[in-house]
Amino acid sequence: MTATKRTAIVTGGATGLGAAYALRLAQDGFAIAIVDISPADSVVEDIRANGGEARSYICDLRDPDAIAATVQAIEADLGGGDVLVNNAGVYDFTPHENVNFDLWRRMMSLNLDGMFLMTQAVILGMKAKGWGRIINVASNSCFIPPAGLTAYVASKSASIGYVRSLAGELGQYGITVNAVAPGPTVTGTTRGAFPDEESFLGFMQSFVKDQAIKEISYPEHSAPVVSFFASEGAAFVSGQTLVVDGGNAKH
């Protein structure tokens, strides 16, 4: 790594949205640190095959000690995190009366606590450099919440409030804080929530009728927004949430 090269940390970057974000930031010239509960070997190989630099770090984002050790390893290997994409998350369709406390805590521990812990772990390094980009991955369900996702929507909505508050604290240090809020997107995780391909595609198509852009959403649709928020061109943009859902008319 050259002295001028910056590093982007992408949580949950082994698959889906996170993988697309990691690949796009690698194209932008960032060294990539993928932090996930599973190995990100295929994404790392793709990045390296195209001349980029990437490493995979196995980490349980619910464990503060594991996060501290992982960030320390990234600092040793790649010089620390200049960009942090808080993408890791889980969701579950469960009617509110059936949401037990264990399920509630599962949503909060990864979607919210993990985001907080990772952000706190990289802030000092960003302050020391006088430059940083923190990007949270929220959801358009914060604005048009569907039934059965109360815990998920609560966690993602909190991440947007976190962005607005933290942006005010960190702007003086050259650090911006923003969020991207994709709509339902074709990923392995989303597909796995349905019993068959027909029901999955029916679910995805159900959103298209309300969209200005009549297409199903893929990870590549929101990756350029992450790229922008991480760029020098976004130096005067902070505390913002950009919804990427084809212009859904319901919000």
Q: Give the residue numbers annotated as catalytic, written as ranges.
A: 152
Handedness of CA 64, 112, 223, 135 (dihedral sign): negative
Total length of the chain: 251
Distance between CA 107 and CA 117 in Å, rounded?
A: 15
Cα 187 off chain centre by: 14
User: Which tokens hold the place of 191?
Assistant: 């597909």
CA-nearest of 90, 171, 86, 61 to 136 is: 86
> What 3-state class would DSSP assign to 243?
strand
Paired strand residues for 185? 217
Residues 6+ apart with CB under 8 A from 33: 7, 8, 9, 10, 54, 55, 57, 74, 77, 78, 81
User: Of 174, 148, 156, 178, which is closest to residue 166 (Cα–Cα)?
Assistant: 178
Half-sphere exposure of 197 (CA within 13 A, CB side): 0
